[in-house]
Every structure is written in structure tokens, then in C-alpha cells.
Structure 1
Amino acid sequence: MDLLVRTTWVFTTKRFKNLLFIPRMGSFTSAPQIKNVDYQDDKLEITDGMSVPDLVDYCRIARGDERPQLVKRKFLKPIDRLNGSDLTDGFKMLQLDSISKTCSEPSATATQLRIFQWNMLSQTLGMHNDGFVRCPLEALTWECRRYQVIEEIVQNDPDIICLQEVDHFKFLQKILSTQNYEGVFFPKPDSPCLYINGNNGPDGCAVFYKKDRLEMVNHFTRVLEVWRVQSNQVAIAAVLRTLDTQQEFCVTTTHLKARKGALLSKLRNEQGKDLLYFIDGVAENRPVILCGDFNAEPIEPIYSTVLNYKPLGLASAYSDLLAEESQDENNQNALNTGVERSGERCSRSSIGSAHSATDDCGLSNGVRTKAEQSAAYEPPYTTWKIREEGEVCHTIDYVFYSKDKLTVKNCLMFPSGEEIGVDRTPSFQYPSDHFSLVCDIELKPASDGSQSDVCSTIPNHQL
């Protein structure tokens, strides 16, 4: 009895009392797991050595010519300002004229990298668990989605791919290897997919990189902790080296806890702290690129936590570039449209045309904090969906980067509400409820040239 009283006292003290109210961080069900493996694409055969245009054509034919094409998107800077050449004809360098105004020229220099971040939507969860009431059932089938997923990735010709909700890693590995990509995958320990009949194994995070431009020095995985208790969210940190310049940097991808509420916001912030400590130990003063679905709008604590973690010196790639464009344009109309963070006003034509108001929101005693300044220039949405409980349109996906060691050169814009369609996403025109984030980032010359060859240990930081 005395032991029971003492144990109860320990877990009701200020430090541990929050643990009493943590909802289960995995499946939210007591049903037994259905432990399938990744097998559904084992019979897929694909020709090796296809060019990007050939692979895109292959995907379109395999999916069906009668299907609508992917939603078209443009880069923020379609003009190469260094030489004045027009890059708006899609894959001009790849001779893919049918993809009009989709991408700018990738990887213009040896130190410039194209980063692709995407929550691609778990097939099992999207089909059985997410309640996309306006999406045709056929559009959610893997037979329909899988070739759109590949098309969305390869048409942007990224050097690094960071993905969340991956439950068909073998499929991605098989297809992307034809384009000289290599990848690593880390599943959630208690993936909700494993409680659904017909699953293809657990979902998790994945990182791919182009072997003809990069090599992997090492990679680490982590199950993120909350108050020293493992959660169900994971992260991958990969140390990569450019083949041309031998510069090393750290790329990390993660997917933080979903759901609304003050407690869940607190959990995400604690996961974020653990994530930052983890990255700090892996990066060892290398430049950092952090990509992921944070399930948090810029007003949440985790956003500020990431930006204010001094050892990494991170900034938001999209926010910085959009702020720079607004300043360059010197267009006050673009600064004063007052787009609301709540997602209730997501109908404007493009994210480049307006930003949050600078004079009546995001102020702390009349002075903007670093996070408030950054939040004002984030895109109005990275996900737009309609579920049983209603329409959701907000920004929860990010690409963060080491501002003193990297430079953001370009980013892919988001489609307008009209272009997306009244049924939103996912749809026949787009295979996920999240839009991909694509950034061109340039490595600055190393200041001292000192970098560790490998990462051997991760320090055990105190929360």
C-alpha cells in the first residue's frame, strides 16, 4: 500500500502529471494488430533506365489516358534572373513539353539542391480511415493513386525526397531506383495501418536521394519522446555529401502527432524538442534541412520552438522566399490582404498574391517576434480537404533550413481553390490531401571547412 501511495505521488507531481492525461499515441484502439508486410506491389515490373519524360508517360498510360491530369503548379521564380532565360516551359531541359509551366530548371549549380517534401497519404488510412467524403472511392484506390504519386515526384526532378505516411515503400523503391534514387524507411512502432484489414504494413517516413549527385555518409532513426516516454511518431536524419564539392549536410524528415486540442499541441511541442536535440546530435554543425508534416499551424508553440532553437539556426524556406519576393515587389497591396490563418479564407488565386496583414495581426506588445514575422509569410495552406466534420484548409507542412549555411533560391507555388476544385483533395487530379513542398536550396561555402566524416554517437540531451 505504501508503494502504491508513493508511486501515485510521483506521477501526480508537476513534472509527470501530464502523463496521466496522454491519449494513446498509436492506434487509438484496443483491437489486435493485423501484421501484414509490404507485398501489394511485388508483381510490378518496370523497365530500368527510363528517362524522366518516359517515366511520366509510363505513369499516365498505366493510370489511363482518360483520367484528368495532375493539378498544374508553377514555381515562384519562373525566370532565371542570372541570365534572363525563360524557364516557364515546364521541363524544357528534359524536353517534356506536355507538362506546361510545371517546373523551373532544377539543380542549376553543383551546390544547388532541389528538396521535395510530401505527406503522400497512407493508402490504408486514406481508403479506410480518413473520411474524405467528397473524394470518389475510385480515386482513393491504390491502382489509381500510385502512378500519380510517382508522377508528382519525378516531374519535379528532386535531388532529395522526404515523405510521410509511406506504406508502399517497396513500390517507391522499385520505381525511383530507375531514376537513380536510393532510400531509407522507418515505420511507426504502432502504426494505425496495422489495425485495418487489407493493410500493406505500417506507415512511416522515408528519405530518398539521387546517387549521381549525392552519397549517404550515415543515417539515424528515432522514435520521438514526450517527457521521456516514446510516442508513435518517428524521424529519419540522413547525413549526405555532394559528389562534386564534397560538402556535407543533414536532411531530416518527420511526422508529428495529429489531432486538435491544447494537450495535443503540447505533445507536438515536446516531440519537436526531442526532434531538435536529435538533429543537433546528428548534424554536428553541418547545415540542416528539416522537412515534415508537423500537424501544427504557425501559431502553435512547435513552430516557434523550431525557429528559436539556437544551435541549429533554422528558418522557414517558404516564408523567407515569399517575404523576400514581397519586399522586392514593394507591393503594399500584397502585404495588406489579411489572409486568415484559420483556413476560412482559402479562395484567393495564388499564394504569391497576398500574405497576412503586417499591421494588425501577430503582434506582441507592438513588436513582432521571430516566429510571428515568419508566420506572416507562410503559405495560407499546404493541405485542403473535406472530411465528415467539415472542410479543413491550413498550413501544417514545412521545410526548415539553416539560414546561415544555406540559401533558398526558389519554391513551388500552390494551386488556387478554383484549380483544386470544389471537392478539394484527394481527387482524380491529386493523390494526397497534402500538397508537396518543393524548394531549390543552395549550399554556402563552408566557413572553416571542418566537418566530421561520420556520425558515430548521438548525445543524450535532457528535456
Structure 2
Amino acid sequence: MGGGATRLYGTLTQTLDSSSSPRSLPPSYLDPRQPAVSNLDPDLCQQQQKGSSVYPPDSVELLRQCEEALRDQPPRLHRKFVLLNDGDSAPSSPIRVMQWNILAQALGEGVDNFVQCPREALSWSRRKHLIIEEILTYRPHILCLQEVDHYHDTFQPVMAGLGYNGHFCPKPWSPCLDVEGNNGPDGCALFFDQSQFELLDSVNVRLSAMMIPTNQVAVVTTLRCRSTGRFVCVAVTHLKARSGWEWLRSAQGSDLLWHLQNLVQKLADGSAGDAGGNISLLICGDFNAVPSEEVYRRFTASPLGLDSACKKLSQDGLAEPEYTTWKIRATGECCSTLDYIWYTKNTLKVVAVLDMPTEEQIGPNRLPSFIYPSDHLSLVCDFSFKEKE
């Protein structure tokens, strides 16, 4: 087993007693020919199957460890993939992207004040299993996270042991540092599967507004797909929260778009062997902005040719999901869409999108809860490259 994952197995399972029946996991769409994650035989993981992703033994073992540790909890949210064939056959090797604000541990136990969530459900000893289980259930090739305050002691070693390369950018003035017993600043993290992608470059960006640095950041990583040779630039960000700061979110979004436009132009002007019009962009984040906000319109109208992948869940492909976060704080209930996966329409095609759980599944106390570790739902999409023009 990978050293990083092995070191964390004990940590991830040491605090929970198990006394009830095992939790059932939903099937995970990777390819119609592949089995569900929880049913994979470890021996099968060692086989090389042409045209499909194969789970390394570490991920299967770690998933089983998480399932075992969570046996005393209710079944997790059951979500299904919506497949978008559009008359085409499913690609043999889709690129799976996960976007998720995982909820910083210090904030969940501190200032976020989730009044309907039991204190025990917010403990790190429980939440860490649920977070890792969610990631391993869908096994993304590219993972974009926000509010990460356990990067160095949990996520980096675990993901490294599973074959991922990771990059982290903390906020300059993280609110986590104001919470007693915190684990350091929270920030954005980006991981990619090294068997699928080669790292070309990664930079941390401190977002500015009117040329003044702000407290929000982004990680921008440039990758080359090993199977196709195509470039993929991935950005993960977390824009300013709260009502009244719409202007700042718009300015931060504009700054990020400016950085990405310069990066794409640099790649197009270089000698990397890929035309500028065929460089793919993926921008994931908690924008803290509903679709009617200016920052959303800026991304929609960007000359980069961006679209929001989760709109594919709607019947006409034009509307965002009703919610990506649903929580109850002391100040009231909040149900809104704030999280997005943006992609370049001319280079990428959406193959499948993970649906959203229903209100009944989420439950009356909303999120987070014993069955879900964050107040934000994960977004998971499969993409394929379009033919070069």
C-alpha cells in the first residue's frame, strides 16, 4: 500500500465504534462496463483494463476502512449520475472532476453555528471518514476543494498515498485562526491523478479587487493528459462570502479570469505543441454567488467561452440546480446555488453529471448532518475532449 494512505488508516478509524450493519454505497458511474466502487474485488484492482480506470488497492482498502468506521451511522446520501449521450457512445476514458467545499473543521465547530446539527456530527473524528468516503466513492481524476484546514495532516498524505499530486493555497487571514484549538488556516486545494495527468505548472494566486489584494485565493494548475497529450488548465477558488459583498466577488472573479486569459495566451504562444484554441479550462469553486449575480454573468460572457456543467441537469440545459448548499444557522435557513464547475465549451463535452439529493434525502435539519459532512454538496462531472478544430 502507498505509504501516505497506510499511515492514515489508523488515524481515520481509531475513534469510532462499530456495532451495526455496514453502510450501503450507491453505484458510481465511471463507465457502463465497470462495477460499483464498493463492490470491487481488490484482486481486480491490480488488473490492467484497456479503456477504463482501475482502482488501486489503496483506494479500495481505505474505502472499506471508512465504511467500517461509519457502520453505526445512517446510510449516506444516495445520488445517481445523469448520463448525457447526445447520440454519441460513452467515452472509454472520461475525465472525472469533483468540486466541493468540505467545510473547515474550525468553522464548523465555531463561528458557522449550525444550530440544527448535533455537536457529535461536527466532530473531526466522524467528518473525516465521511469526507474521504465521498471522495473515494466517486474517485475523481481532478479534485478541487475549499475550506481545507486539514491539508497537511490528512488530505495531502492520504491523497498522495492514492497516487494524487496536491497543491494548497491558504487564505492570508483565515477565520479559522480565530477559533480556539484550530488546525491552521483554511484554503483551496487541488489534487490530480498522476496516472492520468502530467504536471506542467502550478501557481497560487491571491485575488485582487481594483488592484488591491484580498483575502481570497485560487490555485491554478496546468496539466497534460497522458492519454491524449491535450492541455488542461484547472483553477480552484473560493470567493468572498456574505450578502453585501457582491461587488467584491465580481472583482475577484474578473481578476481570476484575467489570470486565466493570460495563461491561455501564454500556452498558445509557446512551443508546447497544442493550438491555443484547443487548451481546455476547468474552473471549480464556491463562488458564494447565486446565478443572478454579476460575477456569474462575467463568467458566462467571458471570451474564454465558458459554460457551467451542472446546468446539464436541467431539462433545457439552461438552469442551474435549485441548490448546492442547504443549511440552518442561527440567522435562518439558506438554500441556494453557490458552487460551480465551469468548462470551455469548444474543447470539452459534458458526459455525465451527478444529480442533487432531494429535500427528503437531505432531511429537515439540513446540512451538515450525521449522513453528510459539509453544508455544501459535492459537484461531480465527467468530461471528454472534443476533437481538435
TM over 0.5: yes
* Per-residue CA distance 1:298-346 (angstroms, 9 max, x = gap): 0110000111111x11111111x235x547xxxxxxxxxxxxxxxxxxx
Give the alignment's Cα RMSD to 1 decimal.
Answer: 2.2
Q: Secondary structure at the match of 2:81?
A: coil
Q: Distance in 2 between matches of 1:80 and 1:313?
A: 20
Count of aligned pairs between the two proteins: 328
Q: Distance in 2 between matches of 1:400 and 1:425?
A: 24
User: Which residue of structure 1 lines up, in the alignment, with residue 176 of structure 2?
Assistant: 193
User: Which residue of structure 2 lines up, in the alignment, with residue 415 of structure 1?
Assistant: 357
Which residue of 95, 116, 128 corresponds with 2:98? 116
User: Which residue of structure 2 lines up, in the alignment, with residue 369 of structure 1?
Assistant: none
Q: Distance in 2 between matches of 1:416 and 1:307?
A: 27
One-letter amino acid of the structure 2 residue matched with residue 65 of structure 1: R
Q: Is the 8 A contact 1:70 1:429 kept in 2?
A: yes
Q: Distance in 1 between matches of 2:227 and 2:107?
A: 41
Q: Is the 8 A contact 2:202 2:222 kept in 1?
A: yes
Does residue 131 in structure 1 map to residue 124 in structure 2? no
CA 1:141–1:241 in structure 2 vs 1: closer, same or farther (change >3 Å)? Answer: same
Q: Is the 8 A contact 2:91 2:384 kept in 1?
A: no
Q: Is the 8 A contact 2:145 2:190 kept in 1?
A: yes
Moved more, 229-238 or 437-446: 437-446
Higher strand share: 2
User: Which residue of structure 1 lines up, in the alignment, with residue 147 of structure 2?
Assistant: 165
User: Which residue of structure 2 lines up, in the alignment, with residue 424 of structure 1?
Assistant: 366
Mapping of residues 3-402 of structure 1, within 5 Å: 44=11, 50-62=57-69, 64-77=70-83, 108-110=91-93, 112-170=94-152, 171-261=154-244, 264-284=245-265, 285=276, 286-310=279-303, 312-319=304-311, 321-323=312-314, 325-326=315-316, 374=318, 377-402=319-344
CA 1:140–1:381 in structure 2 vs 1: closer, same or farther (change >3 Å)? Answer: same
CA 1:279–1:292 in structure 2 vs 1: closer, same or farther (change >3 Å)? Answer: same
* Per-residue CA distance 1:154-183 (angstroms, 9 max, x = gap): 110110000000001120112122321111
Q: Secondary structure at the match of 1:133?
A: coil
CA 1:259–1:202 in structure 2 vs 1: closer, same or farther (change >3 Å)? Answer: same
Q: Is the 8 A contact 1:50 1:178 kept in 2?
A: no
Q: CA deviation at 1:195?
A: 1.4
Structure 1 runs not aligned, ≥5 long: 1-40, 84-106, 328-373, 448-463
TM-score normalised to structure 2 length:
0.80
CA 1:109–1:140 in structure 2 vs 1: closer, same or farther (change >3 Å)? Answer: same
Q: Secondary structure at the match of 2:138?
A: coil
Q: Distance in 2 between matches of 1:428 and 1:302?
A: 33
Q: Is the 8 A contact 2:354 2:379 kept in 1?
A: yes
Q: CA deviation at 1:113?
A: 0.4
Q: Distance in 2 between matches of 1:149 and 1:130?
A: 18
Q: Distance in 2 between matches of 1:51 and 1:70?
A: 22
CA 1:440–1:174 in structure 2 vs 1: closer, same or farther (change >3 Å)? Answer: same
Q: Distance in 2 between matches of 1:406 and 1:79?
A: 14
Q: CA deviation at 1:53?
A: 3.3
Q: CA deviation at 1:54?
A: 2.6
TM-score normalised to structure 1 length:
0.68
Which residue of 434, 442, 458 corresponds with 2:384? 442
* Per-residue CA distance 1:272-323 (angstroms, 9 max, x = gap): 110100111223342111100000000110000111111x11111111x235
* Per-residue CA distance 1:217-241 (angstroms, 9 max, x = gap): 1011111001111110000111011
State the identity %. 43
Structure 2 runs not aligned, ≥5 long: 1-7, 14-55, 266-275
Q: Is the 8 A contact 2:9 2:65 kept in 1?
A: no
One-letter amino acid of the structure 1 residue matched with residue 66 of structure 2: C
Q: Distance in 1 between matches of 2:200 and 2:92?
A: 21
Q: Distance in 2 between matches of 1:79 and 1:254?
A: 30
Q: Distance in 2 between matches of 1:382 and 1:401?
A: 18
Q: Secondary structure at the match of 2:217?
A: strand
CA 1:69–1:50 in structure 2 vs 1: closer, same or farther (change >3 Å)? Answer: farther
User: Which residue of structure 1 lines up, in the alignment, with residue 17 of structure 2?
Assistant: none
Q: Is the 8 A contact 1:254 1:291 kept in 2?
A: yes
Q: Is the 8 A contact 1:293 1:398 kept in 2?
A: yes
Q: Distance in 2 between matches of 1:118 and 1:381?
A: 14
Q: Distance in 2 between matches of 1:276 and 1:446?
A: 23
Q: Distance in 2 between matches of 1:305 and 1:213?
A: 31
User: Which residue of structure 2 lines up, in the alignment, with residue 365 of structure 1?
Assistant: none
Q: Distance in 1 between matches of 2:76 and 2:150?
A: 20
User: Which residue of structure 1 lines up, in the alignment, with residue 35 of structure 2?
Assistant: none
Q: Is the 8 A contact 2:85 2:351 kept in 1?
A: no
Q: Secondary structure at the match of 1:302?
A: helix
One-letter amino acid of the structure 2 residue matched with residue 175 of structure 1: V
Q: Is the 8 A contact 1:52 1:155 kept in 2?
A: no
